[in-house]
Amino acid sequence: MTVPHHAISPFTDLKKVSGVSCLGNGHINDTYLVSFVEADRLPMVLQRVNHRVFPDVPGMMANIRQVTDHQHRKLAEWGRDQPERRALRLLPTLDDRDLFVDEAGDFWRAFDYIPEVTSIDVVKSAEQVFEAAKAFGEFQYQMADLPGTLLDTIPNFHHTPSRYDALESSVSQDLAGRGRFISAELAFARAHRDLAHGVADLMEAGDLPVRVTHNDTKINNILFDSQSGKGICVIDLDTVMTGSLLYDFGDLVRTATSLADEDEPDLAKIQVEMPLFEALLNGFLTKASAFIDPKELELLPMSGALISYELGMRFLKDYLDGDLYFKVAHPHHNLQRCRAQFRRAECILRLEREMTEMVCQRS
């Protein structure tokens, strides 16, 4: 690991730094934990933001500033304990900016570290799923009265028909010469084209509420309190924009109802567990039942298939393009990830009726 000293010094006195290590398994940004010499000083989380993925980094940072300030206002208004552990806090540079741009044009930002937390890439229990879903439901509740509007920093981020079109365009270009390896996956994408319209068309017709949503609610974007196991803080706010509640619920279904890794190569190991879906539904509705719309409720069961299908297409597109977007550990990684998402989508579609019955019992 190359220690980014030049990016630490804008945020803090380098002489006070005792160590730097890597943090997390994100596919887009680079995250570092910077520790300090003083025994009572909490570390800081330093991130290099991927500006190929986020074309408007200052706009994205303005969104994050708006969102986190609002979260802290809400936590104060509700009298919640430990507010510093319940919402991220941006750490400005020494000259009071939320962003530092280095000579290479890389963008850096920092957050206060939240102590005594754990994060997971794969769920281990229904309690964890309940806690994660409850925290993401509460996040939407917090955002309900966000003042002002957020910038649409990645337009059409969850517009699944556009993701389908982007895939077809990559198929035509076949930039990396990998088109010959993807016939089964492409056939799956084409056969499920209708699924792509499930939410997008209703949003366009004004038949689903437009909300402020997180848009990347995978299970490792929640911090759990190490002692109690409670979901304590929603992180990774890069994609907070207007969207549908179904995107957030759907990405939770994708990542929190299966005990397999996101890139599990053995598809037989990828199953979707109804007890985990039940925990997810109960956790999410703890807060969201206060505001969820009947149409959203009706579509909760399909949302997981939609987001799994969408992400599968995104991984497939990147595989065809030559791995330009997601970090990969080996040459066929994106294809492997795509297969695992399509398998999840299939499992969820098979369980849709059971899921619908469960949702109906709750309403």
Pick the binder of Mg ion from 12, 221, 257, 336 (CB under 5 A). Answer: 221
Give the residues across from 213 on adjacent strands.
241
Pick the binder of Mg ion from 236, 278, 310, 318 (CB under 5 A). Answer: 236
Tell me the backbone φ, ψ of residue 199, rounded to 5 degrees.
-110, -40
Rank residues 117 and 122 by Cβ distance to ligand ADP and give the closer one: 117
Q: Which strands sit side by side in the sheet containing 117-118, from one edge to the other?
A: 117-118, 222-225, 231-234
How far are the Cα atoms of 142, 184, 260, 272, 308 from residue 268, in angstroms, in the given order?
A: 39, 17, 10, 11, 17
DSSP string, 123-163: ---HHHHHHHHHHHHHHHHHHTT-SS----SSTTTT-HHHH
- CA angle 211/215/221 to nearest 5° reads 130
Q: How far is the CB of 48 from ligand ADP (least distance, A)?
A: 9
Q: What is the largest CA-CA distance in the chain?
A: 60
73 scored as a contact of ligand GN1 (CB under 6 A)? no
Out of Mg ion, ligand GN1, ligand ADP, none, what residue 111 binds, judged by CB under 5 to 8 A for its kind, is ligand ADP
- CA angle 67/86/225 to nearest 5° reads 145
Out of ligand ADP, ligand GN1, Mg ion, none, what residue 272 binds, judged by CB under 5 to 8 A for its kind, is none
61 scored as a contact of ligand ADP (CB under 6 A)? no
Rank residues 221 and 282 by Cβ distance to Mg ion and give the closer one: 221
Pick the binder of ligand GN1 from 109, 192, 218, 343 (CB under 6 A). Answer: 218
Burial (0-12, 13-18, 19+ Cβ within 10 Å), 271: middle
306 scored as a contact of ligand GN1 (CB under 6 A)? no
Out of ligand GN1, ligand ADP, Mg ion, none, what residue 218 binds, judged by CB under 5 to 8 A for its kind, is ligand GN1
Q: How far is the CB of 54 from ligand GN1 (least distance, A)?
A: 7
* Euclidean distance between CA atoms 301 and 303, whole angstroms: 6
26 scored as a contact of ligand GN1 (CB under 6 A)? yes
* Euclidean distance between CA atoms 8 and 46, whole angstroms: 8
Q: What is the CA radius of gyration of the chain?
A: 20
Pick the binder of ligand ADP from 24, 58, 83, 161 (CB under 6 A). Answer: 24
60 scored as a contact of ligand ADP (CB under 6 A)? no
Question: Using a CB cutoff of 8 Å and minimum separation of 24, what contacts does 166-175 make?
Answer: 166/313, 166/317, 167/313, 167/316, 167/317, 167/320, 170/317, 170/320, 170/321, 171/320, 173/320, 173/321, 174/320, 175/320, 175/321, 175/322
- Enumerate residues 6+ apart whose C-beta is below 8 A from 141: 287, 288, 290, 291
Size of the site for ligand ADP (CB under 6 A): 18
Out of ligand GN1, Mg ion, ligand ADP, none, what residue 53 binds, judged by CB under 5 to 8 A for its kind, is ligand GN1
221 scored as a contact of ligand ADP (CB under 6 A)? yes
* Euclidean distance between CA atoms 202 and 200, whole angstroms: 6
Pick the binder of ligand ADP from 17, 53, 88, 189 (CB under 6 A). Answer: 88
131 scored as a contact of ligand ADP (CB under 6 A)? no
153 scored as a contact of ligand GN1 (CB under 6 A)? no
Q: How far is the CB of 54 from ligand ADP (least distance, A)?
A: 10
Rank residues 113 and 284 by Cβ distance to ligand ADP and give the closer one: 113
Out of ligand GN1, Mg ion, ligand ADP, none, what residue 244 binds, judged by CB under 5 to 8 A for its kind, is none
27 scored as a contact of ligand GN1 (CB under 6 A)? yes
262 scored as a contact of ligand GN1 (CB under 6 A)? yes
Q: How far is the CB of 26 from Mg ion (least distance, A)?
A: 4
* Euclidean distance between CA atoms 69 and 186, whole angstroms: 43
Kindly list the residues in this chain that would bind ligand ADP in the complex (CB under 6 A): 23-24, 26, 28-29, 31, 45, 88, 111, 113-114, 117, 119, 220-221, 223, 235-236
Kindly list the residues in this chain that would bind ligand GN1 in the complex (CB under 6 A): 26-28, 53, 216, 218, 221, 236, 238-239, 262, 311
